[in-house]
């Protein structure tokens, strides 16, 4: 995406040069070689100076994700427990097709989740997993090991492989209703989701399972 952005910027500048020359120089014809040189120089400039700023470092991704999870806490107090319930209330309300992975709760409504002791505990489990992913993102070996362990624990549910990445769409939407829906947060969690799902699918492949 960064490369595409730079290429489009260069393309637009190319035509800006043509337009400017025609407007202020009595329709002077600009040699194509000159335009090409302008474009190449600008492209190299953008690639060297803009591209690094468009990609967040592992540490930056971690910091943004951990900050967002201040609205999705783990703990034993009532507020933290409610944060976990709220995740599943959102999931069951907006993605009811995912309820099939929760035996005995296939017909649960968000109100059922709210009253459920099971989801009081399950909510904390899922938020704990999110905290671990965010907190280990700048430690790739640990992050990937946790991804593989997560797959091992979920093999019995025979989940669709696409869900390993789709989960993060649900998560960012949930965080948005908690008041953390800015672009930086969405981008950071997309990065986490991409790396997490890539490792999960690779592990599934190694296990000889659908991937």
Please name the residue that has the structure tokens 């907006």. Answer: 94
Task: Determine the Cα angle at 182 with ends 55 and 8, to 5°.
Answer: 45
How high is the pLDDT of residue 155?
87
How high is the pLDDT of residue 87?
98
Report yes or no: 69 and 76 within 8 Å, Cβ to Cβ: no
Rg of the Cα atoms in the chain: 24
pLDDT in tens, 94-116: 999 999 999 999 999 999 999 99
Return the axis-axis angle of helices 140-154 and 183-206, rounded to nearest 10°. 60
How high is the pLDDT of residue 156?
84
Report yes or no: 74 and 125 within 8 Å, Cβ to Cβ: no
Residues lower than pLDDT 50 in the chain: 48, 51-53
Please give the structure tokens belonging to residue 27: 């329709």
Report yes or no: 2 and 51 within 8 Å, Cβ to Cβ: yes
Q: Where are the domains positioned within the chain?
A: 2-54, 58-206
CATH architecture for residues 58-206: Orthogonal Bundle (1.10)
How high is the pLDDT of residue 13?
56
> From CA 111, how far away is CA 131, in angstroms rounded?
26
How high is the pLDDT of residue 52?
47
How high is the pLDDT of residue 16?
54
What's the Cα-to-Cα distance from 53 to each of 2, 69, 155, 186, 189, rounded to whole Å? 10, 24, 39, 17, 18
Report yes or no: 122 and 88 within 8 Å, Cβ to Cβ: yes
How high is the pLDDT of residue 54?
62
How high is the pLDDT of residue 38?
56
């Amino acid at each position: 995406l960064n490369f595409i952005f730079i290429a489009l910027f260069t393309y637009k500048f190319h035509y800006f040069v043509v337009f400017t020359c025609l407007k202020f120089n009595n329709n002077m014809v600009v040699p194509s070689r000159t335009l090409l040189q302008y474009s190449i120089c600008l492209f190299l400039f953008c690639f060297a100076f803009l591209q690094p700023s468009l990609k967040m470092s592992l540490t930056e991704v971690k910091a943004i994700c951990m900050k967002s999870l201040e609205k999705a806490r783990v703990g034993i107090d009532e507020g933290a427990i409610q944060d976990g319930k709220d995740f599943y209330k959102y999931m069951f309300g907006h993605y009811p097709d995912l309820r099939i992975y929760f035996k005995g709760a296939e017909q649960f409504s968000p109100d059922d989740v709210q009253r459920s002791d099971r989801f009081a505990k399950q909510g904390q489990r899922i938020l704990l997993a999110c905290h671990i992913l965010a907190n280990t993102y700048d430690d790739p070996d640990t992050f990937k090991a946790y991804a593989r362990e997560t797959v091992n624990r979920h093999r019995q549910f025979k989940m669709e492989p696409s869900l390993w990445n789709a989960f993060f769409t649900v998560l960012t939407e949930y965080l948005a209703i908690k008041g953390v829906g800015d672009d930086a947060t969405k981008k950071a969690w997309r990065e986490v989701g991409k790396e997490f799902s890539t490792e999960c699918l690779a592990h599934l492949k190694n296990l000889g399972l659908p991937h």
